[in-house]
Structure 1
Amino acid sequence: MHKRFQFFALLTVLACYCQFTQAQEIRANVSVIANQVQGVDRRVFTSLQNSIKEFLNNRHWAKDAFTQGERIECSFLLNITGSSGGDVYKANLTIHATRPVFNSSYVTSLLNIQDNNVAFKYTEFQQLEFSDTRVAGNDPMAANLTAILAYYVNIILGLDYDSFSPRGGDEYFKKALNIVNNAPDGKDVTGWKAFEGNRNRYWLQDNLLSAKFLQFHDVMYQYHRQGLDLMYDDVNKGRASVLNCINMLYSIHQNIPNSMLMQVFFSAKADELQKLFSKAMPQEKSRAAELLAQMDIPNAQKYQQMK
């Protein structure tokens, strides 16, 4: 049995979900906002919201069978910023995904990211389709939306699996790579190529599969399974494991400063880390604050306040 499911088997709070029926892997809350768009029937955006929700929640994304209680909680907020006519829109997409912590009601953030390079074509009541073997589909602009959604679902699955077993997410990061390699192409389609910037979909999957970041996957496992999941029984031991993860991250930072992967990690974990070490022993708190401030400059002041 995969370690992810061994973990959930231990959660008594999920006992009521132990049924023979299977459920899809994602429980996504979807919101579409289009306040900046004029001259378009609002019903189109209601239809789009329902289509995305159905696409994310009713499709099988992983090889393992998930029960209702094991579904990954996440949110997708699509903010449409403009329309160029012909049912073509520009938008930004904010994705947040969480994971439960053992023996607690607390959930920890796995991913918290905003993608500003979303362009797509959609007509009312259009069914969203996606195939791993035909990512670009027949219409690149229509396919771009489903490619982006499928890409982030695989990133979420990979991070979730990584947090339950060593290198557990590799299969899903490779699926994300397949989407990048076969992504739709067009003059308004961006975010899939290395030369289009150093903070986009290409670079996130590149970092996740790069040998230079192998230690990051150890961090994901140790941070969650040997850190957060142990805190119910021994707070100090769990916090010590998290501090060891910070040391490992600092080693990555020294070799590859200012990477996208590290930025993504701290976007999800900064508030949690600040709270986690605010009650630590002075020496432990000082060490964490020093390293975190160097690695996560946007939140440096927050960490310095822990001292």
Structure 2
Amino acid sequence: MRIFTLLIVLLFSFNSIAQELNAVVVINAEQTNKADLQVFKTLERSLTEFVNNTKWTDRRFKQQERIDCSFNIIITQQDGNNFRATVQVGASRPVYGSNYDTATFNFNDKQFDFEYTEFQPLIYNPNTFDSNLVSVMAFYAYTIIGMDANTFKLNDGDKYFQEAKQIVTTAQPNNQTGWNPQDGSQSRYRLNEDLLSPNFREFAGIMYSYHRTGLDFMVDDKKRSKQTISTTLSQFQSLYKKRPNNFLTRVFFDTKAEEIASIFSSGPSVNITSLVEVLNQVAPTKSNFWRQIKF
């Protein structure tokens, strides 16, 4: 009887451990004028299974701890097994003590060309470049996990960004855009390089302070939380001095601008004069959001 009970406990424990990501993959092929092709439905299903069923780390995740994320892939051209596309990648995590999910990452990758044969297996091997499709999805899987980790523990995302760097290094010799220094200021290469650069170490601290010591305390003390977030956002001045209009600042405010405007437009009043000045300096393209800040 005790053996039977132990087996049940072990089975329950095994089933309660899930993979890291809870991803939604959407393929939009309307621009190809071939949106009804079965290959797009197969690709969507295969990518969903690939991202959600691959074990990306050695961490143990419970089902409710999986990271919600999305991949909105827009196919712009299709010629046989060759696809030209963009991918909008997003991720979020819950805020402590609330029903609110806060975005942790939001990026539109416009350098996403790949080859795909319907029903081909999608398998990630960190030591080889098997396809641009697999490498791009794996790169963002690790980037999402790293961003999420940094919101819970200072610098905890570095090991996952290093995994993403391995993907970059392996992909570079294969003549695919997005992986090399010459591929522009908003490439996968640049994103990973800056996340690991000593010149931008403040960014990891900003991600941690904004979420863990800011948002997660909103339910207990909203005014204190707003003050913490305001102080945290002022740290972007340091990044601005190193490189105005740097990539990580743009990624952060593409993800957070609407949320920041909402935080500082209601609830208990805090001094936001200097905050608005900082925001207009470091993220001037989001000025329409900063004008909404009233308290």
**Fold-level similarity (TM above 0.5):** yes
Q: 2:51 aligns with which of 46, 56, 63?
A: 56
Write the distance in 2 (CA, Å) between the matches of 1:265 and 1:39.
35
Structure 2 CA distance for partners of 1:24 and 1:289, relative to 1, 3 Å: same
Write the distance in 2 (CA, Å) between the matches of 1:38 and 1:185.
33
**Identity of matched residues, %:** 36
**Stretches of structure 1 lacking an aligned partner (at least 5 in a row):** 1-17, 138-142
Deviation string 1:154-199 (CA, Å, 9 cap, x unpaired) is 1111111100001100000101111111116455x20111111111
CA contact (8 A) 2:71 2:88 kept: yes
Q: Which runs of 4+ in 1 moved over 3 A?
A: 38-41, 184-187, 280-283
Deviation string 1:79-126 (CA, Å, 9 cap, x unpaired) is 10002x331010000111001000000010001111011111111111
**Stretches of structure 2 lacking an aligned partner (at least 5 in a row):** 1-11
* Equivalent residue letter for 1:118: F
Q: Aligned runs of 1:247-286 on 2, under 5 Å? A: 247-279=234-266, 284-286=271-273
Please give the secondary structure, in 2, of the residue aligned with 1:132. Answer: coil
Q: Is residue 131 of structure 1 aligned with residue 125 of structure 2?
A: yes
Q: How many Å apart are 1:296 and its aligned residue? A: 1.1
Structure 2 CA distance for partners of 1:295 and 1:52, relative to 1, 3 Å: same
Structure 2 CA distance for partners of 1:129 and 1:285, relative to 1, 3 Å: same
CA contact (8 A) 2:29 2:35 kept: no
Please give the secondary structure, in 2, of the residue aligned with 1:92. Answer: strand
Q: 1:145 aligns with which of 122, 133, 143?
A: 133
Higher mean Cα deviation, 189-198 or 273-282? Answer: 273-282
CA contact (8 A) 1:290 1:304 kept: no
Write the distance in 2 (CA, Å) between the matches of 1:190 and 1:173.
19
Q: How many Å apart are 1:304 and its aligned residue? A: 2.6
User: TM-score under structure 1 normalisation?
Assistant: 0.88
2:151 aligned partner: 163
Write the distance in 1 (CA, Å) between the matches of 2:123 and 2:272.
49
* Equivalent residue letter for 2:106: N
Alignment coverage as a number of residue pairs: 282
1:36 aligned partner: 31
Q: 2:81 aligns with which of 66, 74, 87?
A: 87
Deviation string 1:13-35 (CA, Å, 9 cap, x unpaired) is xxxxx955210000001111111
User: TM-score under structure 2 normalisation?
Assistant: 0.91
Q: Aligned runs of 1:133-212 on 2, under 5 Å? A: 133-134=127-128, 136-137=129-130, 143-183=131-171, 185-187=173-175, 189-212=176-199
* Equivalent residue letter for 2:136: I
1:67 aligned partner: 62
* Equivalent residue letter for 1:195: Q
